[in-house]
Amino acid sequence: MVEHRRDRVRAPARRGPKRDAKARLLVFCEGRVTEPEYLRAFCKEAGGTSASVKVATLRGVPLTLVQEARKHQSGDWDAVWCVLDHDDHPRLPEAIDLAAGNGIQVAFSNPCFELWLLLHFRESPGAQQRRTVGQLLRERLPGYEKHVAYEHFAPTVGDARRRARQLDKHARDAGELRRNPTTGVYRLLDAIESTSSPG
C-alpha cells in the first residue's frame, strides 16, 4: 500500500528554550515631569529587568489617579502603581484606602518625590516642607528645576534605596507609616527589577 505524504504523522517541531513573558506594570504619576522622566530613565538603564513598564499619560491629584488606576486593573496588567506625594491633598487618606482596598500599589513620598531624589546624595534631612527639600536638592544639583538628568542619579540609586528603607523601618517601628520624611519609591524600583509574569 502506498503511503500518502499527507497521512504521515509529523514529529513535533523542536522548540527553543522557554522564556517567560515579561510582567507588565502600569504606573500613574502625580507629577507631569519629574517622576515620569526618572522612571523612564531608570527602566531604560535597567533594560534587562523582568518587567515591562508603561508610564500613563494621565496626571492629577491622588484620588483621581487611584480612581483611574482601578479602571485599568485587568488581564493586560500584572500590577498597577500610583506614585503619590503628600503635598497636603485633602482627600489623600481616601485615596490611600481606596488603593489598598483594590490591590493598587502605591509609591508614596512625604513630603514630595524630591525627597527620593535627595536621598541619592545624602542621608535623611529630617522632617521638612516640600520647598525646603527642593532647596536642599538644588544645593546638590545647581539649576535643578523638575527635569531629571538621570546620569546624576544613576550611580547612587543603591544609596537612595538603603536610606529610604531605613526611613520606612523607623516609621514602622514608631507606628507612623508614611510620616515625614518617608518615600516608598524604592518599592516600585524593586518591583520593576524583580516582578515576573505569573504562570
- Domains of the chain and CATH, by start: 22-194 (3.40.50)
Residue 83 · residue 30 · CB < 8 Å: yes
- pLDDT at residue 196, as a whole number: 39
Q: What is the pLDDT along the chain (199 residues), one digit of tens a residue?
A: 444 444 444 444 444 444 456 789 999 999 899 999 999 999 998 876 667 899 999 999 999 999 999 999 877 899 999 999 997 888 999 999 999 999 999 999 999 999 999 999 999 999 999 999 999 999 999 989 889 999 999 999 999 999 999 999 999 999 999 999 999 999 999 999 875 333 2
Residue 22 · residue 50 · CB < 8 Å: yes
β-pairing verdict for 182-183 and 23-29:
unpaired
Omega before residue 36 within 30° of 0, cis: no
- pLDDT at residue 148, as a whole number: 92
- pLDDT at residue 154, as a whole number: 96
Residue 86 · residue 110 · CB < 8 Å: yes
- pLDDT at residue 49, as a whole number: 61
126 sits in which H/E element = none
Q: How many CB atoms lie within 10 A of CB 28?
A: 25
pTM: predicted TM-score of the whole model, two decimal places: 0.85
Q: Cell match 482596598: residue?
A: 101
Closest listed residue to residue 113, CA positions, set 56, 41, 33, 57: 33
8-state DSSP, 12: P
